A and B are shown apart, each in its own frame.
Chain A
Amino acid sequence: MKFFKVTSLTLVCMLLGVVIAMQYRSVMVINSLSVYEQQRSSDLITDLLREKRNNEQLQQRINELQKDLETYRTSSSNELETIRELNEYINKLQILAGLKTVKGAGVVVTMDSIGNAYLDDDHILTVLNELRATDVQALAVNDERIIATSEVRKAGSYMTVNGRKLLPPYVIKAIADPDKLESSLKMMTGVVETLEYLNIKVDVKKEENIIIPAVRDDGTVLRYDLLTPVD
C-alpha cells in the first residue's frame, strides 16, 4: 500500500513537471510568433503602399500620353498644332536633361566641416541619394547642376563636380516638396544626424524660390559621342 502511494505521487509529480515545461514552451512560441507576424505584416504594408504609388504614377503617365496622342491624331491635318505639341515636349526634355535653368520650391542644404572633421565625397553623395529618394526633380551642388553622369569627388581640400573645383561650404539645392525633403533628411538616425555625429555641420533650410542653373553647355559635361542609339 505504501509502495503504491509513493509511486502514484511520483508519477503525478512527473506529469506535473512535464505539463509545466510544455506550458512554458508554448508561451515562448506564441511570443516569438506574434513578433514575427507583426513584422511581416508591416513589411507587406510598406510594399503595398509603394506598389500603389507606382501604379498611380503609371496611370498619370498613361493619361498624359493618351492626351498627347489625341492631339497628334486630331491635328494630323493641322501642322501648327503638331509643332506646338512637339515644342512643348522638347521643352520638357530640355528641363529633364538639365539644359534649362529651373526654379521652384525645395530645400537648400549647407554642409561644412567643424574644426578638423573630414568632409568626404561620400557624405555629399549620401545627402544627394537621400534627396533623390524623395522624388527630387532638380539637383545642384554649389550651382553645378547634377545630371546622370555627374561625379562628386574629393581632391585634396576641395571637391570636383562635373570636372569643376568647388570649395567648402557645399551648398546643395534640391527642387521637390520642401516638407518631404526636410523630414526625410532630418528623421531619427537619418542623414543629418549621422553627419552631425561626424562633426559635419549640416544646415537644412526650406525655401519657396530656388533657382538651379542649367548644366554648363561647353561640351565637357554632357557627352554622348560614344553612344550609338539602338532602334
Chain B
Amino acid sequence: MENKIKGILFVVFLLFGMFVTMQARSIIMTRQQKSQNQTPIQSLSEELEQVKLEGLELQETLRALEEEMEEIIKGFDSGDNPILNELVKTRRHLQLINGFTDVKGKGVTVTLNDAPARTEAYPSELIIHDSDIIAILNELRAAGAQALAINDERIIATSKQLCTGPTILINKNRYPAPYTIKAIGDPDALYAVLEQSEAVFIMRIYNIRVDFRKEEEIFIPRYRVYESID
C-alpha cells in the first residue's frame, strides 16, 4: 500500500515537473518570438511613416513648381505675340477638358455611408464596394455629368476605384467611408437618373445610406497630376 502511493506520487510529481518546465520554456519562447517579430513590424511602420512624409514633401515641391509654371504662362498671355496668345488659350482649354483645372457649376452631390451594423447580416453586405461606386459614377456619366469627383479626388479617364478592405483606393489615395461623390451637369437629369437607378435601389435594400441632392454651386478641384504625363 505504502509503495503504491509512493509510486503514484512519483509519477504525479514527475509529470508536474515536466509541465512546469514546458510552461517556462514556452513563456520564454513567446518573449523571444515577440521581440523578434516586434522589430520588423516596428521598423516597417517607421519606414512607412518616413516614406509618407517624403511623399508629402514631394507634393509640396510639385505644387510650388506648378504655381511657378502658371505664373510664367500668364506672363506669355500678356505679351503681344498672337501665336503665343493662341497657344496659351489652347493650353488652358485643354487643361479644362482634362480635368487639370478647378471648376464649379450646378449639379448633384451623393453621399454614401455603410449600413449601420447589424449583427445578423454578413458584414460584406453592409459596406460599400468599389462596384457600387462604379455603378453610381456610370449612372451620373450616362446623365451627362461633365466633371466628377469622389471625396474631392477628380475622376479622369484612367482613374481607378479599387476596394482594398474597408477602404477604397481612388486615384492614388485611400479613403474610408463615407464617400461624397460630386457631379457637375444638369441637376435635374442627374437627380432623375439616380432616383430611377437600380444600383441605388439595391444598395438601399441592404440599408446602405444613399443620399443625393441638387446643388446650385459645386466646386470640384483639379486632378492632381502625380505621375509623369508622357
Tell me whether A211 is interfacial, beta carbon within 8 Å: no
Contact B51 A52 (CB under 8 A): yes
Q: Are A23 and B84 in contact (CB under 8 A)?
A: no
Interface segment out of the listed B42-50, B112-120, B204-212:
B42-50
B16 within 8 A of A: yes
Complexed CA–CA distance, A44 and B45 (Å) = 7
Shortest distance between the CB of B89 and any CB in chain A (Å): 10
Given contacts A15-B16, A19-B19, A69-B72, contact A55 B160 (CB under 8 A): no
Tell me the minimal C-beta distance from A4 to chain B in angstroms: 11
**In the complex, per-residue mask of B64-96: 1 if CB is within 8 Å of any chain A CB, else 0:** 011011001000100001011001101110111
Count residues of chain A with CB under 8 A from any CB of chain B.
Answer: 83
Distance, CA A146 to CA B40, complexed state (A): 44
Q: Is the CB of B5 within 8 A of A51?
A: no
- Which residues on B are within 8 Å of A, measured CB to CB? 5, 8-9, 12-13, 15-16, 19-20, 22-23, 26-27, 29-30, 33, 37, 40-41, 44-45, 47-48, 51-52, 54-55, 58-59, 61-62, 65-66, 68-69, 72, 76, 81, 83-84, 87-88, 90-92, 94-107, 130-131, 134-135, 138-139, 141-142, 144-148, 155-162, 172, 184-186, 219, 225-230
Given contacts A41-B37, A137-B158, A224-B146, 16 further A-B contacts (CB under 8 A): A9-B9, A26-B27, A37-B41, A58-B226, A61-B226, A82-B84, A83-B83, A86-B84, A92-B229, A98-B157, A99-B97, A122-B135, A135-B158, A149-B141, A149-B145, A229-B92
25 contacts between A and B (CB under 8 A): A9-B9, A19-B19, A19-B20, A26-B27, A30-B30, A37-B41, A41-B37, A48-B44, A58-B55, A58-B227, A64-B228, A64-B229, A65-B62, A86-B84, A90-B87, A90-B91, A122-B131, A129-B160, A133-B160, A148-B159, A149-B148, A150-B157, A152-B138, A229-B102, A229-B103
